[in-house]
A = this chain, B = another copy of it.
Amino acid sequence: MENHNHEAKTNQNYLCNSLPQVLVLEPPPVFKFHGDQLSKRFHFLKAWESPLPLHQYLTIHSQSVQALLSSGRNPITSEIIQLLPSLGIIVTPSAGLNHIDLQECRRRQISIVTAGTLYSEDVADLAVGLLIDVFRKISTADRYVRHGLWASQPDYQFPLGSKLGGKQVGIVGLGSIGLNVAKRLEAFGCNILYNSRQKRPSIPYPYYSDVCDLAAHCDVLIICCGLTDETRHMINKEVLLALGKKGVIINVGRGPIIDEKEMVECLVQGEIAGAGLDVFENEPCVPKELVQLDNVVLSPHKAVHSEETLMALCDLVVGNFEAFFSKKPLLTPLVDY
């Protein structure tokens, strides 16, 4: 009861200072970097800081909460939504919506705002960076120089890399990220091919309905699609063998899209030539075999981490919540979800 009173008092104090209230269940990354800025505009009810069970915490604030900022990861279930009868808007910093019970939101006509394509350019930049790194051995060369081997091994010939121009690059999932990757790699003289659920009529690149067929025609596969039941372990041993001994795989999608065990085996056995990976099946755990290999580049799931994009996300969060609270049209509402 003491906790209960404390929560109610805190809430009361903030209502007095008239900042609009936003519920947060778990802190999203934008909080770590722009928490101060956000807190000047809104009073955040930080559920994760409360010692109360979530159900009890939500019950206390059930009447006042009109807005919710999702972490983009933890589920916003129908149970949570039903505990918040005044909820009118959910803003999620994710591009996807898998974590939100959309049926309940539809029924209640709750507005939803996502990050949309805000991250596409950052992810595409990293995909291209990983590809150049694997092809031209940049991280390996950096280790070589840092360990003092350049100066101490005058007769050693650093291994040759590969040229990007003229390579067949297969993009798996030609959404906003895939199109941004394609645009960048065309400037390097790469030829783009793609696989996606459906052929896109307006796209000039050759389409392969079968990902194994795509792999057989490619020097590089770049995984840019989302994780669904259909894409889980879509990149299996058959696809990797079709990609072949000179083939390189880049993953900026989600770890489980690749059968990681098979990929590691293929890399160790030389059945494929290299990999650039921002995502893994069991993050933050990375298969120990990969750490020993010079033909892979390992990145800790940070494809969307740039200062500029996180600032843009902060603006998107603030702009949409401010529009909501002042009863103006939202800046970027999700339509027909």
Contacts and interface: CB of A to CB of B under 8 A. Distances in A.
Interface of A: 29, 32-33, 121-122, 125-126, 128-130, 132-133, 135-136, 138-139, 141-146, 148, 150-151, 154, 157-158, 160-166, 183-184, 186-189, 283-286, 291, 297-300, 302, 305-310
Contact of A122 (B33, B150, B163): B163
A122 B299 CA distance: 24
Q: How many copies does the complex hold?
A: 2
A305 B158 contact: yes
A165 B133 CA distance: 19
Given A161-B305, A187-B183, A307-B162, A286 B145 contact: yes
Given A138-B299, A291-B146, A302-B158, A125 B308 contact: no
A306 B161 contact: yes
A232 to B, nearest CB: 23
Contacts of A154: 284
A299 B142 contact: yes
A163 B286 CA distance: 26
Contacts of A151: 284-286
Nearest to A182: B187
Given A129-B133, A285-B151, A141 B306 contact: no
- Interface SS of chain A: helix
Nearest to A186: B187
A298 B145 contact: yes
A138 B130 contact: yes
Contact of A298 (B136, B142, B308): B142
B307 A121 contact: no
Contact of A163 (B125, B143, B165, B302): B125
B129 A166 contact: no
Given A151-B284, A162-B306, A129 B121 contact: no
Contacts of A129: 129, 132-133, 136, 138
A133 B138 contact: yes
Contacts of A165: 121, 125, 308
B291 A141 contact: no
A278 to B, nearest CB: 9
26 contacts: A121-B188, A125-B188, A126-B132, A130-B138, A133-B142, A138-B139, A138-B299, A139-B139, A139-B142, A139-B143, A141-B298, A141-B300, A145-B291, A146-B291, A148-B291, A150-B286, A151-B285, A158-B300, A158-B302, A160-B305, A160-B306, A161-B305, A161-B307, A184-B187, A184-B188, A186-B187
